[in-house]
Amino acid sequence: MKRLSLLAVLSFCLLAPSWMSAQTYDHGEVGVFADYLNFSPTTPHINFVGVGGRVSFNVHPNVAMEAEMSYDFSRNFTTTTSNGATTTFVRTSLRPLTGLFGPKFQFGTSESVRAFVTGKVGFVDFSSNGGAVTSGNIGNTIAGVGGSSTHLALYPGGGLEAFWGPVGLRLDVGDEIYLNNGTFNNLKVEFGPHFRF
């Protein structure tokens, strides 16, 4: 029995690398990311950071349908008075929650590094919760989507993905545009690990 177990483990170790390289990871991706949002409607701009996740399913080797959601944490920023001598630190209770959906067009699908462009539509909700970041507060923010603080959002962007088998890294850069009595453009950068299946 001991020899049979040793033979099974040895066979798996020898066959696993060829099995891994023979797999085609073309069904979709899941990933998490760190999020940076340069919120431009305020003076000075507020640089939000947060976290998010996304899932995509390939409908063609070069096209995937993708959904993502990100939550940015409240931030401190400085203001200077008109005389230029007094500086104050202000904590904003604003916490953007963004949900987007749309196609991702991939180039170089058989390569380990590939470029993509995307165009998504969805919402951005500007909740103003001054409390600590807890699952209850995040849940309340999600439940509040659709109220007066929720606005239509568009996201044209692009980026690069690099994969080693099913595991990779992804960088997105785009313009998160939202509509609220005018059009507001905001730089958005996302970076994190992705997994193909």
Domains and CATH numbers, the chain: 2-196 (2.40.160.20)
d(CA 157, CA 105): 11
Task: Provide the phi-psi class of 9: left if phi over 0, else alpha when psi is between -120 and 50, else beta.
Answer: alpha
The CA dihedral of 93, 101, 61, 52, to the nearest 10 degrees, is: 20
Beta bridge partners of 95: 127
Helix (H) or strand (E) holding 180: none
Q: Of the candidates 77, 110, 70, which has an alpha carbon nearest to the alpha carbon of residue 91?
A: 77
pLDDT of residue 22: 41
pLDDT of residue 40: 83
pLDDT of residue 16: 47
The dihedrals phi and psi of 121, each to the nearest 5 degrees, come to -130, 150
Quick check: 61 and 109 in contact, CB under 8 A?
yes
Span 145-181, pLDDT tens digits: 667 778 999 999 999 999 998 999 999 999 999 999 8
The dihedrals phi and psi of 145, each to the nearest 5 degrees, come to -65, 135
d(CA 8, CA 30): 32
Displacement of CA 151 from its chain's centroid (Å): 18
Beta bridge partners of 155: 120
d(CA 194, CA 197): 10
Longest CA pairwise span in the chain (Å): 85
Q: Extract the residue ranges of the chain whose pLDDT is less than 50.
A: 15-23
